[in-house]
Amino acid sequence: MTGESRTLEDFRTEVRQWCRTNIPVDWRRAQTGVSDREFVEFQQSWFQRLRADGFAVPHWPKEYGGGMSSAEQVVLYQELAAHDAPRLVLAFVSIHHAAATLLAAGTDEQRRRHLPAILDGEIWCQGFSEPGAGSDLAALATTARRGPDGYVVNGQKLWASGAQYAEWCLLLARTDPDAPARQGISYFLLDMRSPGVEVRPIRQATGESHFCEIFLDDVVIATDRLVGRENTGWQVAQRTLGAERGMTMLELAERLGNGGFGRLVESCPLDDPVVLDRLAALEIELTGLRALCADFVAGAAPGPADASIVKLYYSELLQRMTDFGTEMAGLAAHTELRKPLSSGWESGAWMLDFLGSWEWTIPGGTSEIQRTIIGERGLGLPREPRGK
């Protein structure tokens, strides 16, 4: 059946059948307590299984392997969530952040080099945050100075998700120290195998090492790996951050409202009216989140703060829901020290999910940053004072 003659219901039937046939049976048990190597192998295998039938990058342009309409993407993510499919954790930055950046601001050569490689499994991380500049990217101190062989980069990045696995990094560095803060930053594609790059995983409260530090010591980046023009990195970075706050939220909302809420209900005493009241309140919030996402995706021209509203709502609802899950699980939540990798933050290992939920109020701009965007761009409130 062609894309032109296929209805949405036809497509939903097709995806449902695909899920029943292709989602690995008992993957949650198989991904619990595994090594890094086993996690990476599973993720790469799952990505290629999705890719083989056109489900890995539905949001990309058709000429690069995507081409699904927004309505079809909604159906795909709904069905993947409903059938409890593994998440593409390892490829998240590659297929969303890196792709959005290259498509919006990369050169033809950069797109030809990297987009097919991402489909083949090339792994990316993001080097934005620094020890002295978390959500305030304008305060970053990593420098890139023009030399005879390219840019020479020195500095340190922090909270780089999955950097220990990454082959490439989306890197922001200051190229003009005398320019106003947002006007002296450039955007680079960094080969993580370059001399002078050192990655140090950070052990988190959950026991995982999802985040990493990246140390850069006289790292040379060729000039053809600059994205956009020199000193326009701030504008390019907004494309990257928009990808994190936008369409990716649809899948996360579906997983939270589908399997996540189902596991929460299973762990609750349903003969307790107080518990039922809390569950009802959460279900109302989840219904609101999914409706918000559906409106956002369906909108022909999203408002300037719509993506921030969705990201803020999701991240703080995730905290409230996993907090309640931890409360309901009681002591068992504190003794469950493993969760299935390749899952989300609603795995049912509630204490680990709750600890992990806090990271979602930080990346792509903290909740405070999102509220500022909503206030200024969405509501038209006066701008807060900016640093020079």
Listed by start position, the domains of the chain span 8-86, 123-230, 236-379
The token pair that represents 250 in the structure block = 């649809």
Length of the chain: 388
What's the pLDDT score for residue 125? 97
Q: Mean pLDDT over all residues of the chain?
A: 91
- Considering the candidates 79, 244, 251, 346, report the single residue annotated as catalytic: 244
Q: Please give the pLDDT value at position 62.
A: 93
Which residues fall within 8 angstroms of residue 157, CB to CB, at 6 or more apart? 127, 128, 129, 130, 142, 169, 171, 213, 214, 216
pLDDT band with cut points at 50, 70 and 90 for residue 371: very high
Written as one string, the DSSP assignment of 278-343 is: HHHHHHHHHHHHHHHHHHHHH-SS--TTHHHHHHHHHHHHHHHHHHHHHHHHTHHHHH----BTT-
Distance CA(257)–CA(335), nearest Å, equals: 26
Is the separation of the CB atoms in 302 and 243 below 8 Å? no
210 confidence band (pLDDT: 50, 70, 90): confident
Has residue 300 got a pLDDT over 70?
A: no
pLDDT, residue 239, reads 79
Please tell me the predicted confidence (pLDDT) of residue 187: 98
Q: pLDDT digit string (tens) for 16-73?
A: 999 999 999 999 999 998 999 999 999 999 999 999 999 999 989 999 999 998 889 8
| Highest mean pLDDT: which range of 101-115, 293-307, 372-386 | 101-115
With bands split at pLDDT 50, 70 and 90, how would you rate the model's confidence at 386?
A: low
* pLDDT level of residue 5 (50, 70, 90 thresholds): low
pLDDT of residue 387: 54
Q: Is 191 left (phi over 0), alpha (psi -120 to 50) or beta?
A: beta
* Percent of the chain topping pLDDT 70: 95
Q: Given pLDDT bands bounded at 50, 70 and 90, which one contains residue 260?
A: very high
Residue-level pLDDT at 42: 97
**Residues forming beta bridges with residue 219, ordered by sequence position:** 153
Q: Distance between CA 97 and CA 237 in Å, rounded?
A: 9
Q: Give 314-367 pLDDT, tens digit per residue.
A: 999 999 999 999 999 999 888 888 889 999 889 999 999 999 999 888 877 788
Determine the Cα–Cα distance for residues 204 and 359; give it in Å rounded to an integer.
11
Task: Tell me phi and psi for residue 375, to 5 degrees.
Answer: -65, -45
- pLDDT confidence of residue 244: 60
Q: What is the C-alpha to C-alpha distance for residues 238 and 138, in angstroms, rounded to an integer?
A: 12
CB neighbour burial string for 38-63, b if at least 16 within 10 angstroms, e if fewer: ebbebbeebbebbbeeebbbbbbeee
pLDDT average, residue stretch 274-286: 97
244 is catalytic: yes
Residue 305 confidence class, pLDDT cut points 50, 70, 90: confident
Give the dihedral sign, CA 101/103/106/112: positive
Q: What is the pLDDT of residue 8?
A: 92
Q: For the chain, how long is the longest CA-to-CA vector?
A: 73
Q: Is 110 left (phi over 0), alpha (psi -120 to 50) or beta?
A: alpha
Fold adopted by 123-230: Butyryl-CoA Dehydrogenase, subunit A; domain 2 (2.40.110)
Q: Is 215 helix (H, G, I), strand (E, B) or coil?
A: strand
- The lowest-confidence range among 41-45, 214-218, 313-317, 382-386 is 382-386
Tell me: the pLDDT tens digits for 174-209?
A: 999 999 888 999 999 999 999 999 999 999 888 888
Residue 384 has pLDDT above 80, yes or no: no
Q: Which of 90, 96, 79, 89 is nearest to 22 (CA)?
A: 79
254: nearest Cα among 299, 302, 310, 306: 310
Of 31-40, 126-135, 266-275, minimum mean pLDDT range: 126-135
Mean pLDDT throughout 301-320? 88
Angle subtended by helix axes 233-245 and 306-329, to nearest 10: 50
Q: Name the superfamily (CATH) of residues 236-379.
A: Butyryl-CoA Dehydrogenase, subunit A, domain 3 (1.20.140.10)
AA letter at 259: G
Mean pLDDT computed over 303-322? 90
More confidently predicted of 11 and 134: 11
pLDDT at residue 246 in the model: 56
Beta strands in the chain (DSSP E): 124-127, 143-147, 150-157, 168-174, 185-191, 197-201, 212-221, 226-227
Residue pointed to by tokens 């305030």: 136
Residue 361 or 99, more confident: 99
pLDDT for position 278: 97
| C-alpha–C-alpha distance, residues 248 and 354, integer Å | 20
Does residue 171 have a pLDDT over 70?
yes
